[in-house]
Amino acid sequence: MNKAVFLDRDGVLIKDTNYPGDPETIVFLPKIAQAIRMLNDKGYTVVVVTNQSGVARGYFPEENVKRIHGKIAEKVCEAGARIDRFYYCPHHPDENCSCRKPKPGLLLQAQKDFDIDFARSYLISDSESDMAAGRSVGCKTILLSHERNPAYTTAGSLFEAAALLK
C-alpha cells in the first residue's frame, strides 16, 4: 500500500480569495512546487482534495475548477514535481453529499484509486474542519497556521509541513 499526502487547495496551494473561480487571477503561495517536489522525493502520492461549492452556488462553471487545477499542475510540473490527482466536491453544503469535507468521500475515492494506507498518510490544510476528514480515516493531520494549536501538529506553510514528514 502507498503513503499519501492529501492537500487542501485554497489557502494551501493558492491564496484563498473566497471562491476563486478564475484561473487567471489565482495567486500561488510561496514554495508550493518545492514542497510538492519534497513530498514526491519522500515517496508520497500527492493528492489535492478540495471543496468547490462555488460551482453549485453558480459563481463559476465546473470547467473553471478544472482549469485552475491544470494551472496548478503546470506550475508544479515546471519545478520537476507532480500532483498525482485532483479531487473536488462541486456540491452545495446543504446537499449533504459524502464527498464534501469534513466527510471523507474524496479521501476514500483516492484510497481506492491509489491503494493508499491511511495510517502512513497525512492531510494538510489551513482549515480545522478539514482535519476531521483526515482523522476520520486514520490520517495524521497538519494544520497550516501561524498560531500554534495544541490540538494539531501545525506548520506555517506547505513547505514547512513537507519538511516535517519523513
Residue ranges covered by each domain of the chain = 4-118+149-164
CA-based nearest residue to 72, from 40, 30, 28, 103? 28
SS3 112: helix
Element (H, E) at 140: strand 140-144
**Alpha-carbon gap, residue 68 to 62, rounded angstroms:** 10
SS3 143: strand
Residue type at 160 in one-letter notation: E
What's the pTM value of the predicted model, to 2 decimals? 0.96
Residue range 7-61, pLDDT digits in tens: 999 999 999 998 999 999 999 999 999 999 999 999 999 999 999 999 999 999 9
Q: Active-site residue among 10, 94, 115, 126?
A: 10
**Alpha-carbon gap, residue 34 to 64, rounded angstroms:** 25
Q: Active-site residue among 8, 22, 115, 126?
A: 8
Whether 8 is a known active-site residue: answer: yes
Residue range 105-156, pLDDT digits in tens: 999 999 999 999 999 999 999 999 999 999 999 999 999 998 888 888 999 9
Whether 130 is a known active-site residue: answer: no
* Class of the CATH domain delimited by 4-118+149-164: alpha beta
Q: Where are the alpha helices (DSSP H) in 12-157?
A: 32-41, 62-78, 105-114, 128-137
